[in-house]
Amino acid sequence: MLAEIPLFARLSGRHLNKIARVATTKRYAVGSPLVRAGGPANAFYVIFDGRARVDTPDGGIELGAGDFFGEMALIDGEPRSATVVAVTELYVMVLSRTKFLKVLEAEPKIALAIMATLSRRLRAAQQAEAL
C-alpha cells in the first residue's frame, strides 16, 4: 500500500519496509476530527482511502488518497494550525511524532517531497488570500 503513495514512490523496497514497520493504520468514521486547531500534535497522517477536510479560513481544503497532513506542527513544534475532519470513512497511515521526525532525518527524498507540498500549499494559500 505504501508503494502506491506518491510521497513514498521513490523509496526502495527496503526503505518502504522500514516505514511500514513503524507505521500503523487507522480507520475513522465520517465527521471524526483527526486533528484539532490549537491542540497538541503527536502524529503525521497519510490518507490511504477516503477524503478529509482541512478547515481553513477561506472555506476548507479537501484531501484524498495519497495526500498527507499533520506535518506542520511536528516540524515547527507549534500547536496544530487547523482542524482536519473525515468527510467520508477514512483510512490513514499514522506515524508517531518521533517516528516521523526520524523518517525525515533518514530519508531526504521524503523531506524534499514534503517541502514541495508545503510550498504548493503556501502558494495556494497566498492566492486564496489575494482574491
Residues that bind ligand CMP (CB under 6 A): 35, 41, 54, 56, 61, 69-73, 80-82, 84, 121, 125
How near is the Cβ of 13 to ligand CMP at its closest, in Å?
27
How near is the Cβ of 12 to ligand CMP at its closest, in Å?
26
| CA torsion, ordered 78, 59, 31, 2, to nearest 10 deg | -60
Cell numbers 490511504 correspond to: 48
Distances (CA, A) of 97 to 77, 79, 125, 131: 10, 13, 25, 35
Report the DSSP pairing between strands 90-96 and 61-63.
unpaired
- Closer Cβ to ligand CMP, 12 or 131, answer by number: 131
- Closer Cβ to ligand CMP, 80 or 107, answer by number: 80
- Closer Cβ to ligand CMP, 32 or 81, answer by number: 81
